[in-house]
Structure 1
Amino acid sequence: MQCKDIPDETFLDSVRKTPTTPGTTWRMRWDVQATLETALGPIPDNLFLAKARQLHRKGKLGGCPCGCRGDLHLPKECRPNPHCCGQ
């Protein structure tokens, strides 16, 4: 499986469906990965992060795609939150 095998919209839908961390607009990456895996089956960590980085570069995903913080969100959720990443 490669990044191209994971449709952008399926990945972003998994972000939308994953509950946020209380008090934030962020979803923890392992929760998003679990949601995505219910749709597509097992996805290795490195592939999940590679797809997250790809979507981040395209401006379709906010948060930390390298995995160091583990938070992911949709860019529109970032703008009204002054404590966010400023995507």
Structure 2
Amino acid sequence: MRISKELWVEDGVKWTTWKKNQLVKRNKYKGSVYLVCSSPCDHWLFEVIEAKHLTKRYEACYVIGIMQTREGAIRYIASLIDNIYNKQIMSYEVLTT
């Protein structure tokens, strides 16, 4: 899994260099958090997955946000879509670099 330059980590989520390396090198994250990532499917923009459900399918995806709750992840996706399409202050390509 790759880390986006625009990664947003919610307050209260433990994010250390060790956890970052585990996510990048082993595609694993120990803890009960929700990851907002780019989708491996072409017709979806984002996916919300629980960290314990990471598989090899997500190796080429970018992590865009790390949240404690699913509702927080959905709110973050809504703000991303608003910024990309309505306000046009961000692009999808920026998130996936």
Q: How would you bin the TM-score normalised by the shorter chain?
A: 0.3 to 0.5
Q: Which has the higher helix share?
A: 1
Higher relative contact order (CA 8 A, sep 6+): 2
Decide which structure has the larger Cα Rg and report it: 2
Q: Which has the higher strand share?
A: 2
- TM-score by length of structure 1 reads 0.33
